[in-house]
Chain A
Amino acid sequence: EIVMTQSPATLSVSPGERATLSCRASQSVSSNLAWYQQKPGQAPRLLIYGSSTRATGIPARFSGSGSGTEFTLTISSLQSEDFAVYYCQQYKNWPPWYTFGQGTKLEIK
């Protein structure tokens, strides 16, 4: 099983500032990495797949980078609606055994 570790657990940032979230895989997942945003009471929302490709309708302020075991989600200028929990997910395995990180809570500073 590939274990995904996210850091930090909580990130406090002011609106308008940049946020950088990290995700580390216990072994290489190549670029098979997605990021999701989740707000209370809602299902996760796909932001990024293939490590760096924005999903349809996702604003350009969201960007992803990395490959292998180290990945980053950057939100360039935080808007009020961006404060939420963010999860990474690897999908390298076949047969399927997808794993998610434990999440980073992005809160208003």
Chain B
Amino acid sequence: EIVLTQSPATLSLSPGERATLSCRASQSVSSYLAWYQQKPGQAPRLLVYDASNRATDIPARFSGSGSGTDFTLTISSLEPEDFAVYYCQQRSNWPLTFGGGTKVEIK
């Protein structure tokens, strides 16, 4: 099973700041990695797939990068609605796995 490790666990930032979230895989997943956003009481929402492709209707301030074992989700300038928990997920191998999440909170 591929283990995804996300860091940091919590990121405390102010609106307008840049957020950089990391996801590291225990073995190469090529570019088969996605990012999701989840707000309290809501289902997750797909943000990025195949490491760097934004999903439909996702704002351009969200960008993904990386390949192999190291991936980054960048939010260029945080909007109030971006404070949430973010998860990465790999589809390279079964079973599908998620990272433990990074909470982006208001500083």
| Co-assembled chains A and B | no
